Chains A and B, each alone.
Chain A
Amino acid sequence: MEQQETIYFDNAATTQISGDVLDSMMFWLTKGYGNASSIYRLGREADTALAKARSDIAAALGVQSGEIFFTSGGSEGDNWAIKSLAKAGQAKGKNHIVTSLFEHHAVLHALDSLKKDGFEVTYLPVYENGTVRIADLEAAITDKTALVTIMYVNNEVGTIQPIEQIGAVCAAKNVPFHTDAVQAVGNLPIDIKKSRIGLMTVSGHKLHAQKGVGFLYADKRYKPAPLIDGGAQERGRRAGTENIAGIVGLAKAVVFATENVANKRAHIQPLADKLKHGVLSLGHVDLNGEGGERISGTLNFCIQGVEAESLLLSLDMKRIAASSGSACTSGSLDPSHVLLSMGIPHWKANGSLRLSLSEYTTEAEVDYFLQVFPPIVERLRENSPLWEKIVKEIPFK
């Protein structure tokens, strides 16, 4: 198979915009450019579209329109939820937050900033199966706990957290519960009310909508204090002229994603299984988070004896886009905090590979990957002193 186009296995990083989403946006990018706060027809039409997008998303999630706040995406949603809950807690003398070790940096760094303001943070372990344990959560919550923030699905290894049980514990202890559901919507059926989720962050560009748009769900009991001050948009809680086209596209994407969870899984599962078996058959390969419950579309491996960046560059030369848990290409030389938190040693974590699929992934792409991948690994291993030590069982540091 001769490939010119990118073979895209990085859907956990971002996704292509769907045709239906783009179609739904076009009018609002061209003719319907009014400011939703304006009084004339152009503005009123934009405002009506905004209201419809909000109610469509609310209906798709079984919540109320007034509980949906549009944002610029996942990082803003996480920061807003966590900082507003922390502030509300602080006002009641609560200065403790519970999270997990392998949250997204939008959560971990927001917490770092709160620590400078006097908050204490408990990081729940995630174990080899990439899953928090309820007993650890119960033990961590104190009468000073202002909030619990635990992701729905881990972005690197795809493991699903026991959200319903976490919600139940938080409800019983009367602690607000926020979850970063950026990797969950569309991959799992989500029942916000049943899981007693207080606040939930969602991002559009993981769902085949545009980058720079998302929403925060906040149960009506919580009224998140503004992170961005200014105009009265989003009921006075999030200033800034609304991105109508982006929001309309987001609503389209959320409705589609929530209605098509089963179809998506049915499409992805056999492809992911084929990929998984193909990659594991190389030998000296670990599937990370294997013991945990995982979404079907995210696979994370440690390819022993090779280094992740070399692997990614070699795949890129074959027009394959993939990523590693490693942040080495983004300015840090440390391996992934997610893999290390799961007890994976550095030497293995340095050779991680994440393949994430979408409903657009085809069997031909999987076959192409499995055709070009083994010779790449073989070449890198042949030239690797670490591989030599692994196969000859020579101890190494």
Chain B
Amino acid sequence: MAMMYSEKVMEHFSNPRNVGEIENADGVGEVGNAKCGDIMKIYMKINGDTVEDVKFKTFGCGAAIATSSMATELIKGKKIDDVLKLTNKAVVEALDGLPSIKLHCSVLAEQAVKSALSDYYRRQGIDPVPIVGEIVDEDETDIGSCALAFSK
């Protein structure tokens, strides 16, 4: 039973957008872990109320790389208020769907974006939780919960 990715996923996997790091980023977020097999790290340059630039690095499967790439595309140049509204569903739709066992990658991408915003607020001395919410991350203590953490 071979798993099929959409052409959009494969396109983002082969030519991911916004790959790399931002020096002196205003917010950096990292979610996932090596044990679960995916780590996403997002860098943001924020100017006023706008995410001016965004870059990412991802260790993970095709879906992990494609969802990170798409998430950065969806938020680049957007107002923070709009970025906060990014959902994993929007990422999945923009990629023309994901196999069900890979849906957790889109959640991870959403959480990576939120984690970078949280870091930005913390650097401003602002408690991010009321604005961004709690970051849901994979639980490395139990391999079975790698993807399950997101179904809570």
Contact = CB atoms under 8 A, between A and B. Distances in A.
B59 A305 contact: yes
Contact of A346 (B2, B20, B34, B41): B34
B39 A346 contact: no
Contacts of A396: 33-34
A310 B37 contact: no
A310 B62 contact: yes
Interface size range on B against A? 20 to 34
A333 B34 contact: no
B98 interface: no
Nearest to B63: A309
Contacts of B35: 345-347, 350, 397
B119 interface: no
Contacts of B40: 385
A396 B140 CA distance: 11
Given A334-B143, A397-B140, A328 B58 contact: no
A333 B59 contact: no
B70 to A, nearest CB: 15
B39 A328 contact: no
A23 interface: no
Interface residues of A, number: 30
Interface of A: 305-310, 313-314, 317, 328-335, 345-347, 350, 383-389, 396-397
B110 interface: no
Contact of A385 (B39, B140, B143): B39
Given A334-B143, A386-B34, A397-B35, A317 B14 contact: yes
Contact of A329 (B3, B16, B34, B146): B3
B60 A307 contact: yes
Nearest to A329: B3
B1 A386 contact: no
Interface in B69-116: 101
